[in-house]
């Protein structure tokens, strides 16, 4: 049985640094949080007390700190799995944990934005696996110096990121930088997924070069369907299963695709 979270000096130090950066006293932050004084916050900063999830999220917003990182620090020792996923890009095996975190959001628009990001998070993981198989691994096998070049650039990339907050679109950035690193090309401008045709469009950073398209359904399935047609759910289920996703994860990805289609359709209707 997992233990309850205990007071954390690392969490307290992070909150104290954020409070100092914001130029707030303990009393001022306590007032912003609706507390009688700043005594409790002081005990949290000294590692003597453990705040609730709701209080921690509220404190993070007031101090412009990432609530996910604060929650990760809180549960680092008692719930290592939660700590791992909170500081990582969205993973197919943990969508429900992300949804649990949505309970901390009170603003409906923020909840919608988080759901939008969560939907793409699952697809980004799938996209990256396919890119890994079709582009990255062949490039690594063809160039004997590519693995060393990739390791060196990844190490430099990590050094630049040290001490910085991970941006919300971290996974998209990684997908855009991995491929040119391996190929030794200019950074890619963008990639875009069409949820109706299940085609992945890759726009290279090279001038006058046409965009490359990859089908998430595979060459045979893509050639038998007209452009813009709806993806065959059964065929897509098989492809997802081949990527290593479990049955419940496959169902969740399909649901998210349908949700994404409906949302886009609703947005277009509202715009008209």
What ranges in 132-169 are assigned the alpha helix state H?
A: 137-142, 146-161
Contacts with 119 (C-beta within 8 Å, 6 or more apart), sequence order:
256, 259, 260
pLDDT band at 263 (very low <50, low <70, confident <90, very high): low
Condensed to tens digits (0 to 9), the pLDDT of residues 85-130 reads: 455 544 433 444 344 444 444 455 555 555 555 555 555 555 555 5
Choose the weakest-confidence range: 34-38, 123-127, 185-189. Answer: 185-189
Condensed to tens digits (0 to 9), the pLDDT of residues 136-172 reads: 556 556 666 655 655 565 555 554 444 444 444 444 4
Burial class of residue 55, CB neighbours in 10 A (0-12, 13-18, 19+): middle
pLDDT of residue 67: 74
Pair of tokens at residue 84: 């791992």
Q: What class is the 9-87 domain?
A: mainly alpha
8 A C-beta contact, residue 72 and residue 83: yes
Domain ranges of the chain: 9-87, 108-271
């Amino acid at each position: 049985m997992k233990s309850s979270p205990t007071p954390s000096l690392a969490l307290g130090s992070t909150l104290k640094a954020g409070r100092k950066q914001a130029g707030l006293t303990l009393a001022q932050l306590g007032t912003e949080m609706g507390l009688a004084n700043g005594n409790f916050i002081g005990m949290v900063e000294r590692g003597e007390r453990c705040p609730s999830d709701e209080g921690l999220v509220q404190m993070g917003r007031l101090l412009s700190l990432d609530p996910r990182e604060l929650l990760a620090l809180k549960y680092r020792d008692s719930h290592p799995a939660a700590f791992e996923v909170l500081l990582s890009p969205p993973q197919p095996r943990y969508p429900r944990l992300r949804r649990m975190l949505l309970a901390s959001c009170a603003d409906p628009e923020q909840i919608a934005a988080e759901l939008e990001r969560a939907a793409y998070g699952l697809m980004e993981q799938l996209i990256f696996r396919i890119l890994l198989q079709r582009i990255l691994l062949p490039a690594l096998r063809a160039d004997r110096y590519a693995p060393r070049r990739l390791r060196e650039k990844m190490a430099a990339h990590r050094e630049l990121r040290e001490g910085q907050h991970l941006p919300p679109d971290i996974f998209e950035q990684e997908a855009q930088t991995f491929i040119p690193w391996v190929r030794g090309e200019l950074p890619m401008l963008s990639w875009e997924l069409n949820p109706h045709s299940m085609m992945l469009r890759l726009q290279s950073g090279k001038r006058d070069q046409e965009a490359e398209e990859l089908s998430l359904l595979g060459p045979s399935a893509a050639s038998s369907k007209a452009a813009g047609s709806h993806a065959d759910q059964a065929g897509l289920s098989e492809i997802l299963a081949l990527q290593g996703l479990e049955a419940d994860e496959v169902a969740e990805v399909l649901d998210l695709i349908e949700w994404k289609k409906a949302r886009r359709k609703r947005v277009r209707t509202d715009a008209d």
